[in-house]
Amino acid sequence: MTKPTETGEWARRRTYAIISHPDAGKTTLTENLLLSAGSIRAAGQVRARGENRRTQSDWMKIEQDRGISVSASVMTYEHQGLLFNLLDTPGHEDFSEDTYRTLTAADSAIMVLDAAKGVEPRTLKLVEVCRLRDIPILTFINKMDREALDPEALLDDIQDKLALDAAPMQWPAESGRRFKGVLDLKRDEFLSFGHADDDRSPADRAPRTPMSSADLERIVPDGELARLREGAEMAREVCPAYNDQSFREGHLTPVYFGSALRHFGVRELLDALAEVAPGPQPEPAVVKGQPATIQPSDPEVAGFVFKVQANMDPNHRDRVAFLRLASGKFKRGMKLKTEKGKAITVSSPILFFAQDREIADEAFAGDVIGVPNHGALRVGDTLSESGAIRFAGIPNFAPEILRRARLKDPLKAKHLKKALESLAEEGVTQLFRPVLGGDFIVGAVGQLQIEVMSERVATEYGIEVTFEAAPYDTARWVTGSDAEIERFADRHKSAMAEDIDGDPVFLAKSAWEVSYSEEKWPDLKFLRAKERG
Ligand code: GDP
C-alpha cells in the first residue's frame, strides 16, 4: 500500500451512504462493513450507538456536555489504502429531510434490497434523491439466506421501478435453505456460502472455486448447477454489462448478492466499493457572482452545510452544523466565512476518523466535519476562507406530511409567522402560505420533523399551537412561463400556495392528482425538489 502524498489526501476519500427501505438490513450491513474493514471490533456497536463511547476526543465531550448525539453521523474506516466516510442516513422513525440532505453530501451510495421484496417505496424515493445529483449506486441484494425472488425478477424490478440499468456482477445459486453461494461473473469463480456461519468472520472472503473445477459438483448439486449455468449465461447475454462511465453517471448499477447477517458477500462488496466508488467530485458554485466549479484539489478550504443537529436540550441554543468539505486542507482553528460574510473560527471542530488512526487536526475534500455554533449556520450555507464562494445549496424536497398550524390565540398570528419562517429557513420544516385564506401549512418528509418543530415553537417562541391534518397529500413546485403558471394557478386557486421564497407551489390531494396535472399541463413542470440558494 503506498501512502499518498499529502496534497493528494483528498483523492483517497470515498464518501458514501447506504439507502434502503426499513428492515432490508441497512444496520446489519453497516455493522458488517465496519467489522469487515476492521474498524469496529464487536458487532452491535452501530446498533448500540452511544453505549460504547470513546472518551478522549472533543466531540465526545461535546456530546456529553450538550446532549447532542453525533457519534454515528459519520463512520470512517480505511480499506485498501482508501479512506471511507460512511454517512449515516436517518431511517425508521427518525426519517426526515436530513436523510435526503445527507445524500447531497455523498459521492456514491449502496442500495440495499431485501431479496424477498425487491424495490420498496422508500428505496424508490431515496434513489430519486440520488438522481438529483446522479450519484452512482451499487446494489446489494440482501437476505439470500431466506427464500428470495428470482434474480431475473429482482433485476427487472430495479430496471422497471428505478429506471436504472442493472448489471449483475454475480449470479446466485438458489436461495433460502438451498442457498449455495454466488458465481462471480467476471472471474467465473463460485463463492460458496457453505452454511458455516459460526466459523466465518465478517472480514473473510468467501472460498472461491473456478467454475471449470470438478470440485464444484460437491458444492452445487447437479440440477442446481445446471440452473446456475443457465442463469449465468442469460446474465451474460441479456443483462446490461457493467460499464464504468454509465455507473459514474448514475445510469447503471452493479448488482451483488449476499447475506449481511451471515457475513456473506460483505467483504466482496467492500472490495467492489474500493474498486469502483468515485472520490470527491467537482462542485458547481457561484464565485463573486460568476458560475464556477470548485475542484477538490483547489487550495481554498470550502464546504457546504448539509445538516444541522440541534441540542436535545431545548434550553440550549447549541447546534452542530455538518460541513461537507469540497476543497482545500482544513486545519483546526481556521477562520471560515459564510457567503454572507459571517466569520466563524472553527476551534473545536468535530473530526471523524478511523479508530486506529492518529487523531489529526486536518480534514480534506470528501470529509465531513461538525462545526459547533449557536445557530449561526443553516442548512445550505457555504463556508470558505474567502467568503466569496457559494455552492448551489441543498434542495427542499417535496413534503409528504402537510399540517395546518392552528393557533390557540389568534392574536399571535404574527409571532407564529415569524417562528415558522425562521424554522423553515433553518431547514427544520418547510412553510407554505395558501393563496386563499390565512392558514400556515407546514411540510415535512418525516413525522419527527413535525415533532421537533412543534416542540421548538412551544419552548423557544412560547406560542401555543396545534398542527392538524391538512387535506393535501403532497406538494410540487410549479415552474414554466409566468403566463402558463398564472393560467394554472387561476384554475387551481384553492390548491395554490407560496413557499418561503414566494415561489408557487401546488398542494395536491393525491399522487394521482400530480400525474393528472402533469399530463394536462405539459408546458409546466411539477418539481419534487427545489434548489435553494
Ligand atoms: P434496517 O432496518 O434496514 O437497518 O434493517 P436491520 O439491519 O435492522 O435488519 C432488519 C432485520 O432483518 C433484523 O432482524 C436482521 O437481523 C434481519 N436481517 C438483516 N440482514 C439479514 C440477512 O442477511 N439474512 C437474514 N435472514 N436476516 C437478516
| Per-residue model confidence as pLDDT tens digits over 136-150 | 999 999 999 999 999
CA of 188 to the centre of ligand 1 (A): 29
Residue 343 — pLDDT band, cuts 50, 70, 90? very high
For the record, the C-alpha cell of 487 comes out as: 393560467
Whether residue 366 has pLDDT greater than 80: yes
Ligand 1 nearest atom to the CA of residue 31, by list position: 7
Whether residue 203 has pLDDT greater than 80: no
- How far apart are alpha carbons 427 and 424 in whole angstroms? 5
> Per mean pLDDT, which of 87-96, 307-316, 443-452 is the most reliable?
443-452
Q: Which amino acid type is present at position 249?
A: E
- How far apart are alpha carbons 72 and 48 in whole angstroms? 10
Decide if 294 contacts 303 (C-beta within 8 A).
no
More confident residue, 486 or 206: 486
Report which of 6, 159, 28, 17 is spatially closest to residue 100, judged by C-alpha positions: 17
Q: Please report, to the nearest 10 degrees, the dihedral formed by the alpha carbons of residues 91, 138, 247, 161 taken in order.
A: -60
Mean pLDDT in residue range 70-81: 79
Which amino acid residue places its CA nearest to atom 15 of ligand 1?
Answer: 25
Report which of 266, 275, 178, 191 is spatially closest to residue 232, judged by C-alpha positions: 191
Which amino acid residue places its CA nearest to atom 11 of ligand 1?
Answer: 23
| Predicted confidence (pLDDT) per residue in 475-520, tens digit | 999 999 999 999 999 999 999 999 999 999 999 999 999 999 999 9
Looking at the DSSP bridge assignments, the partners of residue 390 are: 286
Whether residue 360 has pLDDT greater than 70: no
Mean pLDDT in residue range 404-425: 92
Calculate Rg over the CA atoms of the chain: 25
131 alpha carbon, distance to own chain's centre? 11
- How far apart are alpha carbons 349 and 266 in whole angstroms? 32
Whether residue 313 has pLDDT greater than 70: no
Residue 353 — pLDDT band, cuts 50, 70, 90? low
Q: Which residue has the cell 472490495?
A: 271
Sort strands 208-210 and 189-192 into parallel, antiparallel or unpaired. Answer: antiparallel
> Where does 48-192 show beta strands of DSSP type E?
74-79, 82-87, 108-114, 137-142, 165-168, 170-173, 181-184, 189-192
Assign residue 265 a region (left: φ > 0; alpha: ψ between -120 and 50; beta: otherwise). left
More confident residue, 361 or 273: 273
- How far apart are alpha carbons 265 and 195 in whole angstroms? 13
For the record, the C-alpha cell of 129 comes out as: 434523491
Sort strands 13-20 and 108-114 into parallel, antiparallel or unpaired. Answer: parallel
CA of 28 to the centre of ligand 1 (A): 6
The pTM (predicted TM-score) of the whole model is: 0.90
CA of 261 to the centre of ligand 1 (A): 7
> Where does 88-169 show beta strands of DSSP type E?
108-114, 137-142, 165-168
DSSP state at residue 162? H
Residue 94 — pLDDT band, cuts 50, 70, 90? confident
Residues 197, 200, 205: CA angle, nearest 5 degrees: 120
Residue 56 — pLDDT band, cuts 50, 70, 90? very low
- How far apart are alpha carbons 115 and 117 in whole angstroms? 6
| Predicted confidence (pLDDT) per residue in 242-260, tens digit | 999 999 999 999 999 999 9
Q: Is 80 exposed, middle or buried (0-12, 13-18, 19+ CB in 10 A)?
A: middle
Site to probe by mutation for ligand 1, drawn from 23, 113, 122, 141 as the one with most ligand atoms within 8 Å of Cβ, is 23
Residue 3 — pLDDT band, cuts 50, 70, 90? very low
Q: Report the pLDDT value the prediction gives residue 235, as an integer from 0 to 100.
A: 96
For the record, the C-alpha cell of 480 comes out as: 414554466
Whether residue 1 has pLDDT greater than 70: no
CA of 23 to the centre of ligand 1 (A): 6
Q: Report the pLDDT value the prediction gives residue 393, as an integer from 0 to 100.
A: 80
CA of 185 to the centre of ligand 1 (A): 26
Q: Which residues of 341-361 are buried (b: 16+ CB within 10 A; e: fewer)?
A: eeebebeebbbbbbeeeeeee
Q: Report the pLDDT value the prediction gives residue 467, as an integer from 0 to 100.
A: 95
For the record, the C-alpha cell of 208 comes out as: 472461491
- How far apart are alpha carbons 4 and 517 in whole angstroms? 54
Q: Report the pLDDT value the prediction gives residue 57, as an integer from 0 to 100.
A: 43
Decide if 31 contacts 203 (C-beta within 8 A).
no
Residue 151 — pLDDT band, cuts 50, 70, 90? very high
Which amino acid residue places its CA nearest to atom 24 of ligand 1?
Answer: 143
| Predicted confidence (pLDDT) per residue in 12-54, tens digit | 999 999 999 999 999 999 988 988 887 654 444 454 444 433 3
Centre a 10 Å sphere on the Cβ of residue 5 and count the other Cβ atoms it contains.
Answer: 8
CA of 120 to the centre of ligand 1 (A): 15
Q: Report the pLDDT value the prediction gives residue 250, as an integer from 0 to 100.
A: 96
Ligand 1 pocket, Cβ-based, cut-off 6 angstroms: 20, 22-28, 142-143, 145-146, 259-262
Mean pLDDT in residue range 264-285: 95
Sort strands 165-168 and 252-257 into parallel, antiparallel or unpaired. Answer: parallel
Whether residue 314 has pLDDT greater than 70: no
